Every structure is written in C-alpha cells, then in structure tokens.
Amino acid sequence: MLELVKAGGWPMIPLLLLSLVALAIIVERAWTLRRTAVLPPGLGNEVRAWAGRGKLDPAHIESLRKTSPLGTLLAAALDVRHRSRDQVRERIEDVGRHLVHRMERYLNTLGTIAAAGPLLGLFGTVVGMIQMFLVIGDQGIGDVNQLAGGIGKALVCTATGMIVAIPALMMHRWFRGRIGEYIVAMEHEAIQLLDTLDPARTAPVAAPARPSQPAAATA
C-alpha cells in the first residue's frame, strides 16, 4: 500500500486527506443521525399524554426541547399552543427548517468530496503522464516494460480518487434519504400533537337538538 502511495506522487496527499475527512464525517453523521437519537421511541405518545392531562409547565417543556430533534419540534408547538392552529403550524414549519439544516450538517462537505475525488485522481494521473513524457522526450522511450509500469503508476491516482469518491457519494445519498424519512415521521408526530392540542376540531359534531313540539290546542 505504501508503495502505491509513493507511486502516485504528491497528488496522493490531498486524496488521502480527503479520505480522512470523509471517514470522519461519515462516522459523526452515522452516530448523530441514529433513529433513537432523532426519534426516541414513545416520545410522541408521552408528549400527547402530557398535553391531554394538561401537564405542560415551562420546565417540562424545556427538558423536552433538549432530548432530541423530535423533542425540539414538539416543544416548539407547545410553546405557542394557546395561539391559533395556523400560527402553531407556522411555528412547527419554521423550527422544522432549522432542524433539517442541523441534521444536514457536513453533508455538503461530504458531497464535495464525492465530486472532487475523481477530479483530483485524474489530475494526479495527468501530472504523472506529463512527467513521464518529459522523461521520454529527454531520454527516449527506452525499455517498453518500464514505460508500461510508469503508466500503471500514474493511474494509481485515478483509482484512489474513485476509491475515495464512491463511498462518499453512497453515504451522502444515504444520509439525505434518512433525513427525509425523519422529516416525514416528525411531521406526523407534530400533526398528531396539534390535533391533541385542538380537540374541538377533531371531535365529532353533536347532532342538533330537536325542536320542541308545540303544545296541543285546548278544546
């Protein structure tokens, strides 16, 4: 492996740095975007039970906000629970956008690494080929086997760039898809909480009372 790195020359240095950065981002996002960390099981039912019993003191809501992204979203809805339904929905949407931005942290960097890896690999290969042809121009072709070996070494950068880019691209797409699933689940929990906070809109409409019968006419 060390011989391949040496064969690639100095363009291998940024490729190795990119691989380390991509690995660090993948590990960090995989840990942060665990389902139990974003959507703790049973949290939505617990919060709806609080709302149904009226146990919504400020300290309780603040502790909910610190539990997880889902807790932050539900706490934002509880903060404005006394306002109209449309205002509560607007607050949920605003906080949701901030949560999405937070969950997508470092993903742009990971996508950039996925796009830049093959280009850096191609750049390293071009540099190696230029150096090889300069030597050929000064000393002639010489041994064909050595020429083939030199071309193979120059292509090491291209292979390394692909090795860096392919996992980065796959994990970038996977994280984006996972965040999308989380957003749908969080919206569902928020809507259920909204219905709990506004039971008048979900309760069945009572049947209108029958009009009283007129008194019978006396003879």
In tens digits, the chain (219 residues) has pLDDT values of: 666 666 667 778 888 899 999 999 999 999 999 999 999 998 988 888 888 787 677 888 888 888 899 999 999 888 888 888 888 888 889 999 999 999 999 999 999 999 999 898 888 888 777 777 776 666 666 655 556 666 766 788 888 889 999 999 999 999 999 999 999 999 999 888 888 877 544 444 343 444 445 444 443
The answer to whether residues 107 and 21 touch, using CB atoms and an 8 Å cutoff, is no
pLDDT at 182: 94
In angstroms, rounded to a whole number, what is the distance separating the alpha carbons of residues 127 and 121?
Answer: 10
Question: In this structure, is the dihedral angle defined by the CA atoms of residues 9, 13, 18 and 21, taken in order, positive or negative?
Answer: positive
In a domain, 59, yes or no: yes
pLDDT at 25: 96
In angstroms, rounded to a whole number, what is the distance separating the alpha carbons of residues 34 and 209?
Answer: 54
Give me the torsion for CA of 179, 181, 183, 186, rounded to 10°: -130
Q: Identity (one letter) of the amino acid at 90?
A: E
In a domain, 171, yes or no: yes
Sequence-distant contacts of 82-86: CB under 8 A, at least 24 apart: 85/194, 85/198, 85/201
Domain count for the chain:
1
Q: Give the C-alpha distances (Å, rounded to integers) separating 143 from 3, 8, 146, 149.
A: 21, 21, 5, 10
pLDDT at 32: 93
pLDDT at 218: 43
Backbone torsions φ then ψ of 117, nearest 5 degrees: -55, -55
Which H or E run includes 163? Answer: helix 156-197
In a domain, 219, yes or no: no
In a domain, 206, yes or no: no
In a domain, 160, yes or no: yes
Closest CA to 182 of 70, 83, 51: 70
pLDDT at 150: 65
In a domain, 70, yes or no: yes
Number of C-beta neighbours around residue 115 at 10 A: 12
Q: Identity (one letter) of the amino acid at 27?
A: V
What are the tokens at 201? 């809109």
- Global pTM reads 0.78
Closest CA to 105 of 167, 33, 174, 168: 33
Q: Give the C-alpha distances (Å, rounded to integers) separating 141 from 40, 134, 137, 144.
A: 66, 11, 8, 7
| Structural domain containing residue 155 | 2-200
In a domain, 211, yes or no: no
In a domain, 207, yes or no: no
pLDDT at 111: 94
In angstroms, rounded to a whole number, what is the distance separating the alpha carbons of residues 116 and 165?
Answer: 8
pLDDT at 165: 93
pLDDT at 202: 44
pLDDT at 79: 87
What are the tokens at 32? 């942060």
